[in-house]
């Protein structure tokens, strides 16, 4: 302990009320300095946190865009995989026959090509084709059915 500190300590012992006031002022000054330093550190930390939040917000925004794009792609994919309702003339055939026939739109109507040997199912296909105004076209390996387009205005089938 230095001589100056010793004198002060003796003074405080002799006059305790002075010690309380001086200690309080000194303590307040010291506390003020520590508090100021702590607040400065807190302010710097808050600035860093704010910068991180801004960066995170940009990243999250980009992620939301990616998720939105993926959602659109997945929705389109699922929609493409969903079985479509067959259109004319496919809709006129039962599902079991549609599964073994290819329908190709050509000028003036549709060609219906079997994917495999029809066997007894040939009669069923011919009956439906004729009901739709079509015919069987015998050309050996190129044999197929032809169904004309419906006449405009909903008139009789050809």
Shared domain check, 111 and 59: no
The pLDDT value recorded for residue 23 is 61
Shared domain check, 40 and 62: yes
Summarised one tens digit per residue, pLDDT across range 13-25 is 777 666 566 666 7
Residue 99 above 80 pLDDT? yes
In a domain, 85, yes or no: no
Q: Which two tokens stand for residue 14?
A: 């002799």
CA–CA distance, 80 with 86 (Å, rounded to integer): 14
CA–CA distance, 31 with 25 (Å, rounded to integer): 10
Q: How many domains does the chain have?
A: 2
Q: Where are the alpha helices (DSSP H) in 82-111?
A: 95-98
Percentages helix, strand, coil for the chain, rounded to the nearest 5? 65, 15, 25
145 cis-preceded (ω within 30 degrees of 0): no
Enter the pTM of the model: 0.45
Q: What percent of the chain has pLDDT over 70?
A: 82
Q: What is the mean pLDDT of residues 76-90?
A: 80
In a domain, 10, yes or no: yes
Domain hosting residue 116, numbered range: 90-154
């Amino acid at each position: 302990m230095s001589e100056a500190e010793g004198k002060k300590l003796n003074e405080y012992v002799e006059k305790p009320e002075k010690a309380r006031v001086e200690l309080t002022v000194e303590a307040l000054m010291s506390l003020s300095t520590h508090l100021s330093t702590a607040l400065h550190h807190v302010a710097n930390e808050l600035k860093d946190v704010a910068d991180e939040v801004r960066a995170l917000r940009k990243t999250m925004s980009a992620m939301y865009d990616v998720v939105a794009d993926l959602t659109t792609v997945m929705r389109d994919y699922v929609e493409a995989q969903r079985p479509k309702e067959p259109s004319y003339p496919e809709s006129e055939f039962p599902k079991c026959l549609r599964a073994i026939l290819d329908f190709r739109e050509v000028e003036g109507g549709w060609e219906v090509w079997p994917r495999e040997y029809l066997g007894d199912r040939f009669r069923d296909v011919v009956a439906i084709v004729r009901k739709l105004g079509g015919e069987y076209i015998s050309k050996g390996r190129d044999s197929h059915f032809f169904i004309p387009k419906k006449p405009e205005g909903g008139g009789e089938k050809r």
